[in-house]
Chain A
């Protein structure tokens, strides 16, 4: 090979090992990663900027489309922020419906991730199994909201649909299916020798770093940061429940902060979500699910409101925060979306350091990155962007491969 070590290995922006576009640049000596750098911002759509010329009800529907997996996370965080500004009280049943749909989202998101993690390790049988059982949650979500993705169930002041008594039986059937399959999932993910040998001790994130970088969700809990908004900061129906954050110690192991611990936390959170949904179904208060049915009235209330607020929600990947400021006009004057991956992605350079090249895909995936959540603002500059044709790009790619082979 020409040149001397260290070599730079670029991964992405589009790469088979990545679910979504992000550019990662690794400096390697031999198989070992010396340092890593990443460039997000490959899927910017300018959503925050678009929101500044839309009214809150329009933005709620826009928030549903920030991410294809956390369909309810962003709309719930945004709606909670606006409700605080406009002093709107969500009916109790509305809080419960929100909680149930948020937990179904956690189940499907964690199983999606578990499947991807298995795929990154080359364990495709398990990938198919995880995605097959994920379908149960997708069916339940479809039953409740009418949609498999982009649920569109949240509205300012509550939810747009109720969960009726005749839906309970089907939802319980879905939950029972998860209870039955949980033992199998646990055994396959946590006792498999190959998964263990690939994941134990890789992608280490220490407690101190997780704190200093304000990491969130399963990524931080796997490093021993005992923080879960659902437990610490009661909102929606979570305040009524008796919850404990899921830590890696639940599986009887010590906290190591490695990829394996992140699998433990997520697998057991699926079981926890099933329990939360059951508790919500058992204790569902009667009454309406929305503060005001007429959208025009919601809008006129929002139009009079002024002030600033922060809405938070513990998304499957960790804390999501929406900051909204309104000044008595139709559109908000400020809207900031802080997705979970925003707080987790910047630990990549730390957890990738010292890793083996072959472990990169699973370590990158271990924080469950969601780039579409993180990448939002920007406008493509049409005037000055250099346009490459497909042929040119292909040629560049071939040349690059040849260069690297020399």
Chain B
């Protein structure tokens, strides 16, 4: 079996290869239960250009498990979206697994991220979700045949998790009771027996 690195060693290895692209890192430990066995999460902030390389480096350490890519809009005044790549390493090794979470800022004016599907095929599903919910452009991810998360007739310039002008307008969520019953219903052709 490959050598098992501690969370601190993993941070050092990533720092060595990413250099200045790694902006910040912290290791957070939590202990629960009577025996207080520890579980660890590693949080790393990197520049968005380095995300592909970061995943590549992580893969060199060991094939990671990608829980999902999550993301949020930092607010209507903020110019950035923040996206987290939630990975875990050493799944399957008793009491050893820890999470590695890469956070990146993406400018709303130019919301591009490179795809990581060339490294992990299965990332397409969660990358597609970021497209639909946050309007992030995933470079290199082929266009989906249909929407996966939103209704097929959802307006194309609205992204549900945005908080700026692309957010869900009030007209879509307020006073829905006022719509009443549909008018001009066609005459019923099938009689109830």
Contact = CB atoms under 8 A, between A and B. Distances in A.
Contact of A343 (B68, B97, B149, B185): B68
B120 A381 contact: no
Interface in B74-113: 74-75, 82, 84, 86, 88, 90-99, 101, 103
B16 interface: no
Contacts, number: 189
B9 interface: no
A14 interface: no
Contacts of B37: 234, 239-240
Contacts of B151: 41, 44, 378, 380-381, 385
Tell which of A90, A96, A310 has the most Cβ of chain B within 10 Å: A310
Given A227-B91, A323-B84, A378-B150, A333 B72 contact: yes
Given A41-B151, A321-B67, A391-B190, A231 B33 contact: no
A384 B153 contact: yes
A250 interface: no
Interface size class of B (residues with CB under 8 A): 35 or more
Nearest to B74: A333
Given A378-B160, A382-B179, A383-B172, A342 B68 contact: yes
Contact of B172 (A96, A212, A308, A382): A382
Interface in A189-247: 211-215, 225-227, 229, 231-240, 245
Interface in B1-58: 28, 30-39, 41, 43
B34 A283 contact: yes
Interface in A357-394: 375, 377-387, 389, 391-392, 394
A226 B160 contact: no
Interface residues of A, number: 68
A92 B33 CA distance: 5
A291 interface: no
A405 B67 CA distance: 44
A234 B35 CA distance: 10
A380 B168 CA distance: 10
B90 A211 contact: no
Contacts of A345: 125
A389 B160 contact: no
Given A44-B149, A48-B161, A214-B66, A232 B97 contact: yes
Contact of A39 (B66, B103, B148): B148
B131 interface: no
A153 B34 CA distance: 21
A323 B33 contact: no
Contacts of A336: 68, 70-72
A41 B149 contact: yes
Contacts of A148: none
A334 interface: yes
A354 interface: no
B161 A377 contact: yes
B84 A49 contact: no
B149 A40 contact: yes
Interface string B101-141: 10100000000000000001110111000000100000000
Interface of B: 28, 30-39, 41, 43, 63, 65-68, 70-72, 74-75, 82, 84, 86, 88, 90-99, 101, 103, 120-122, 124-126, 133, 145-155, 160-161, 168, 171-173, 176, 179, 182, 185-186, 188-190
Interface of A: 37, 39-41, 44, 46, 48-49, 84, 90, 92, 95-96, 211-215, 225-227, 229, 231-240, 245, 283, 285, 308-310, 312, 319, 321, 323, 325, 333-334, 336, 338, 342-343, 345-346, 375, 377-387, 389, 391-392, 394-395
11 contacts: A41-B148, A84-B30, A92-B33, A214-B122, A232-B92, A234-B95, A310-B41, A325-B72, A333-B75, A392-B186, A395-B189
Given A381-B172, A387-B182, 5 more contacts: A235-B39, A239-B36, A239-B95, A333-B74, A377-B160
